[in-house]
Chains A and B, each alone.
Chain A
Amino acid sequence: MSAASDDTPRITATFADGRTAKLREVELDFARDALEIRQAGQTLERWPYREIVLVEERFGDAPMRLRHGDRAGRLTIAHAGLIRALIERAPHLSGRLRHTVSLGGFTKWGIAVGTTALAVYLLIAEMPAIAARIVPLKWEEALGEAVVKQVTFIFARKSKTCDASAGKAALERLRVRLTGKLKTRYRFKLRVIDHAMVNAFAAPGGYVIVMRGLIDKAENGDEVAGVLAHEIGHVVERHSTEALFRSLGFNLIVATLVGNTTSMGSAVAEVGTGLASLSYGRAAEREADAIGVRLLNQAGISGAGLAAFFGRIAARHGKDKKRGGKKREAKSGKTKSGGDVGIWGYLSTHPPSAERARRIKARSTGRGRAMSATDWAALKAICK
């Protein structure tokens, strides 16, 4: 019984059956459970209301285009009265377009989303540590070399590392003292970069980079030796290699999310500079501290220098931050930390704490100095 069609005016709609491009002027009959598409008294197709799908979002009084499930046939209704009559019987057509969803679709979706989440997790959380363990030493050294080149290019005056010969000799003596007894696959390469920032960091493959600012702000060789020993700890534990892989994975994910491959290609170069600003997390810092103190102890160097250095720059940083922060706020009304971190880069990656200083002091057994007065003077002049 096709009821309710009496009061609906006999206005036509357009129908293409999906087999040929023929357009037909058709009449619509609103049966109880299905829309009947009729022409010249014959029913061409019956579309159950629940299976009718909006083809596209409608804007304003645009014609309504409909399909039957996933079939190719298309019905276009322009007449407002017919559209209203249809929506009365198929309310889902009034809102947003809805695609027919099958269980198989859900499964596929679940697999796709799950795989992606797993890939992202592995890439950021698990792979870096594994990759850092299995990467051949030569590759790691090559990576480190690339990082050093990058950092030197960006930060150093004249784009080269400091190489005053007396200073280099002093640094080399310190390296031998610190790492001479260390059993490791790495050959350590210590480099000084001519930049005012108080910073030091490890790069993959045995590289430790110190910025001139750190040597300038250090009061004696013990402090520099302490920082170096700590960074050597990072190298031995492969923290920087791991961080590089993590950052690489992260970059790849971001680059791909935004949909741009040019940044994918240069991801390695980008993360190189990022190393200077990476913090490895508390556990890693504690590990590096422990190795650092062990190296200092083996070399007979007092750990007090490292502890004192942490304490002093922390105090100084706090003061600067108060003063500089106020001024800057007054001027631009923005960024509380902007300027300070530039100079005190080491702090942003090595948050000094009283607890850390205490632990270093407690474990330290060395009593000697890291270097002679002449060596210390030479190291201070390494960039001249």
Chain B
Amino acid sequence: MTTPPDTGAVPGPPPIAPEPVERPVYDGRAREVFSLALRNAGLTLITLGIYRFWAKTRMRQYFWSHVSVKGERIEYTGRGRELFLGFLIVLGIGLVTLLPYQLLLNFVLSRNPPLYVLLVIVFYLVLITLYWAAVFFARRYRFSRSQWRGIRAAQTGSAWEFGFLGLGCTLLNIITIGITVPVTSIWINRYLMTRTMFGPHYFAFEGRAGRLYGPWMATWGVGVGGYILIVAALIGLCSAGVLRDNRASVAIIMILLYALWIGGWLAMYGWYRVVQFRRFTDWTRYQTLSFASALPAGRVIGMIALYMLTVVVVLGAIAGVAIAAGLSAAHLAVDPRAAAAVVGALMVVYLPVASIARYLIVIHGVAGPLCNTLEIRGRLDFDALEQSAEAMPKRGEGLAEMLDVGGI
């Protein structure tokens, strides 16, 4: 690399540069998040789910407006009805395509098995493409509805182009049993980031997969290695004849091993995603600004684990009550009242608790550390930034809603 000129404003990870460093501030309060989420859950329940678009909008408005950069709060300008209309359109398309497709599948099932298999494969290919397109649509909507100092962000590019890129990456990851994950994640993020704008300028992104391979191979190793260990343990127990004599204890050991493996892998994967986020942040530029993140993985994993624990406890409680009331799986299939009771309990107890817990634990709990470990370095004449000329999409996120794409 060339030696930096003495202007000071050099992009690139600086050793000890005398650049100004800015940290966003998140000042949301748990009490407010809770009361907002509670009110939203109640209204969503009363309206049989319809309110959730407005609920989501209120939550986003809250979180966006409680993050400030250089003392100025971010703003979310989306509306509930935009989400609702987007959803209705996707719902309509879904109904006219999925219903005939399902009937067709049933028809083909017993008559032409190869065609059936082909149809199912095509269905999943389309589904994966749609998933990535949904990621793009959702991001484009959110960015176009985010502004700071009156200036909008924007996501340009094509959802379908991105959908096919995502499909290709997913297939490559499947074929290589996950070894290519760091490479494909960079491709995907580069497509999005280099087409992301704030005001009149694009962001820049330059990733190096090599810096992700260490953490990823460790994560990958825990996943694949753990699985091999479990299979080996089972084979060992079988061949030693232990299984024949102590069926119950072997089952318990296997379940424990399995739980340990899943839990361990999830934690590792969470850690990897945080590392990836930190690296991606490092590799992102905006004009003369560079970014850095020191997001602590422990905090993120802990919050997600707490959330999952909450969900499991609530589901367990519902199942416990159902079993205590004498309900069995066969019951649910034949007795509409029993099925209605369980579905009702899920709707009245599980959905609200899960939604409140998600906002309070995962999003509120991570927003603070996320913001105050994020650094924006460098000098930029913000006053000269002009309004984005990108047209705003009219409707939001319908597809993401249907495909359950994560995020706020």
Contact = CB atoms under 8 A, between A and B. Distances in A.
A59 B341 CA distance: 38
Nearest to B380: A21
Contact of B325 (A56, A62, A332): A332
Max chain B CB contacts within 10 Å: which of A23, A199, A257, A338?
Answer: A338
Interface stretch (B75-83, B164-172, B360-368): B75-83
B292 to A, nearest CB: 22
A139 B85 CA distance: 34
A56 B103 contact: no
B234 to A, nearest CB: 26
B148 interface: yes
A207 B109 CA distance: 18
Contacts of B331: 338, 341-342
B334 A332 contact: no
A277 B98 CA distance: 25
Contacts of A65: 65, 73, 75
What's the interface size class on B, roughly? 35 or more
A264 B326 contact: no
B44 to A, nearest CB: 10
Given A21-B199, A264-B98, A341-B335, A258 B385 contact: no
Interface stretch (B47-55, B212-220, B238-246, B264-272): B47-55
B383 interface: yes
A5 to B, nearest CB: 25
Contacts, number: 182
A338 B110 contact: no
Interface string A355-384: 000000000000000000000000000000
Interface in B289-348: 324-331, 333-339, 341, 347
A319 interface: no
Interface residues of A, number: 68
B401 interface: yes
Nearest to A154: B333
A138 B108 CA distance: 10
Interface string B27-47: 001001000000000000000
Interface string A56-71: 1101101101000000
Contacts of B111: 142
A99 B58 CA distance: 13
Given A57-B61, A277-B336, A18 B387 contact: yes
Interface string A1-42: 000000000000010111111110000000000000000000
A60 B50 CA distance: 28
Contacts of A63: 73
B384 interface: yes
B107 interface: yes
B114 interface: no
B107 A259 contact: no
Contacts of B48: 257
Given A57-B58, A109-B81, A256 B106 contact: no
Interface in A232-291: 248, 252, 256-262, 264-265, 267-268, 273-274, 276-278
A67 to B, nearest CB: 9
B262 interface: no
A332 B326 contact: yes
Contact of B324 (A17, A55, A332): A332
A252 B103 CA distance: 14
Given A23-B72, A72-B387, A338 B336 contact: no
Interface of B: 29, 32, 48-50, 52, 58, 61-62, 65, 72-73, 75-77, 79, 81, 84-85, 87-88, 91-92, 94-95, 98-99, 102-103, 106-107, 109-111, 147-152, 199, 324-331, 333-339, 341, 347, 351, 382-387, 401-404
Given A21-B150, A334-B325, 18 more contacts: A19-B386, A21-B385, A55-B65, A55-B77, A56-B65, A57-B61, A65-B65, A72-B387, A74-B149, A116-B88, A142-B107, A154-B329, A154-B333, A199-B334, A276-B333, A277-B334, A277-B335, A335-B338
Q: What are the 9 A-B residue pairs with the smallest beta carbon separation, nearest first?
A: A16-B150, A22-B383, A21-B385, A257-B49, A18-B150, A21-B149, A273-B333, A16-B149, A21-B151
Interface of A: 14, 16-23, 55-57, 59-60, 62-63, 65, 72-74, 76, 99, 109, 112, 115-116, 119, 123, 135, 138-139, 142-143, 145-146, 154-155, 197, 199, 248, 252, 256-262, 264-265, 267-268, 273-274, 276-278, 328, 332, 334-335, 337-339, 341-342, 345, 348
